[in-house]
Amino acid sequence: MPRSRLQSIDHVANVIAIVTFALIVVRALTTVDTNWDTLQYHWAFAARAAGLCDVQCFAFDPHLEQRYLAFPMLFHTAYGVLWRTFGTPAAGHAATIVTVVGLCVYLWRRFAVPLAWSWLGLLAVPLVQIHLSASYADLAANAALTLGILAFLRIVMVPTQSPTTDLVVAWVGLTICAGSKLQLIPVAALVWCAIIFAVARAQQRRLHQVQWIHISGLAILGVVSLLPQLIFNTWHFHNPFYPIAMRIAGAHLPGNETLKSIQQTMSVSTQWLDFPGWVRWLASVLEFDAFRGRTPPWTVDQGDVLRSSPSFRMGGYFCVYVLGLVAIVLSRLRERNVRPLLAILAVATVACALLPNSHELRYYQFWMLALVSAVLMLAFTPALASSSQPATLAWTRPLILLALAGVTLMTGAHYLMTHRVTIENLVAPTDAIVDALPAGATLCFADRNRMAILYAPMFHTRSAYHVRSIWGTEAPGCDSVINPR
């Protein structure tokens, strides 16, 4: 392709990147997220973690209280601090945007991928586009984990250079990941172990000896940074992965949930229940029958259809985009200089497919983020140059633009537009009930009603009352019990 035409495509990409970034930021910072999990617990966790609303302000039901204690709260703390600083929960979305931008910057600085193309490549993933303006921890945690994976790749690719910068990036990314999602802690720990091994091997090649003090320091740093939640859970609940009960090497680890019960009640479609996890993951990635009964085709958790539908909790990556990216990767399969990249991607694929509930793609977006990053590196990174790179570049650019156009058209640009849902609009219907409460009253919400958080004192001018979420319809100490719809 003529150089002038390539430059024109880059100029178009720059414009689209700037416009879409502006649209995402405006939407994220001005539109309040009302998705189910946001009101059910994300806001409540963030408010508690950042000191906006303590247990006297809003008391969780016992189930949610245990989850608050057992889950890492780094992301929710950052979210709550942003909320407290700027006076709106929408400000917390900046935590996710900054993490994704950090991934783009790392691709630019260490792998020479233009910022515009990395942003557009990630934005073409439906779940990424959706979660950039949602209050969920999934995207931030997975983008941070991807940073760690890419830093590991960089250390492997250039073992003759000092890995200090990449080690810092990996440590920050993996710490954010482990501090945000309980199920990603083992993955983050394994990536850190791989990094330590790569550093030791690089030292052996560069210095002809391993600096064991340095390696031991990295190992200790990993334990201190990545494992405190698992250590706390082991000490407090006698189960590092509480609240999931499990049996390991004959030892029973207590918990009030099991993976099987979660799958049979809220995670797996009845039509996929009897299939192995890796088969469900593959079907979800390829979006096999994943659009049935769903409008729009992608939502924040793909859970907006009946559990009897084969599309329940399935899909979210745009199958056409996935297939195009995989085809580009396979086209470079025989090249020697790309083998470390392909090997890491292959291990990530197998590991992701075997993780619990991997078909719920929002939990483990690191695989798709790594796949997009891999293709961008094959197209732009000088260290991965070959006679095939111009062809890779020629295919990557239109694939990204067409995938982004497809997602935008299929969703009606819904996740790029501002809908002006403000916290004032959301809270207004609760004012009458709050104003009628006597001083010091305890207002209880039956059946763990997700609207309970909107009645909390932090959203109202009054403060001399308490809000509490309860399991059923009765509990001691409640002056009034309601269950709004």
Written as one string, the DSSP assignment of 42-77 is: IHHHHHHHTTSS-TTTEEPPHHHHHHHHHS--HHHH
Can you give the pLDDT at residue 342?
96
Among 98, 190, 77, smallest CA distance to 143 is for 98
Q: Tally Cβ neighbours within 10 Å of residue 40.
A: 18
Summarised one tens digit per residue, pLDDT across range 60-74 is 999 999 999 999 999
At residue 413, the pLDDT reads 96
Task: Name every residue whose Cβ is closer than 8 Å to that of residue 5 and which is 6 or more positions away in sequence.
Answer: none
Query: Quick one: pLDDT at residue 256?
Result: 86
Output the pTM of the full model.
Answer: 0.96
Task: Give, in degrees to the nearest 5, the angle at Cα 158 between 152 and 162.
Answer: 85
What is the predicted pLDDT for the residue at 208? 84
Going from the C-alpha of 204 to that of each of 106, 196, 357, 388, the distances in angstroms are: 26, 12, 39, 33
**Lateral strand order in the sheet of 58-59:** 58-59, 465-469, 441-445, 480-482
Q: Give me the pLDDT at residue 4, please.
A: 62
Look at residue 131 in the predicted model and tell me its pLDDT: 98
CA distances from 359 to 250, 285, 314, 320, 341 (A): 28, 8, 6, 17, 24
Please enumerate in sequence order all residues whose Cβ is within 8 A of that of 348, keeping only pairs 6 or more positions apart, or say none. 149, 366, 367, 370
Q: Where exactly are the structural domains of the chain?
A: 3-30+71-251+361-416, 423-482
Q: What is the dihedral of CA 140, 141, 144, 150, to 10 degrees?
A: -120
75 alpha-carbon distance from chain centroid: 10
Query: Smallest Cα–Cα separation from 67: which of 223, 262, 316, 251?
Result: 262
Mean pLDDT by 10 residues, the chain (485 residues): 70 97 97 94 98 95 94 98 96 98 98 98 98 98 98 94 94 98 97 97 88 96 97 96 88 87 88 96 98 94 95 98 98 94 97 97 98 98 95 96 98 92 91 94 95 96 92 91 91
Q: What is the dihedral of CA 460, 464, 469, 474, to 10 degrees?
A: -130
485/473 Cα distance (integer angstroms) = 14
**Predicted local distance difference test score (pLDDT) of residue 462:** 86
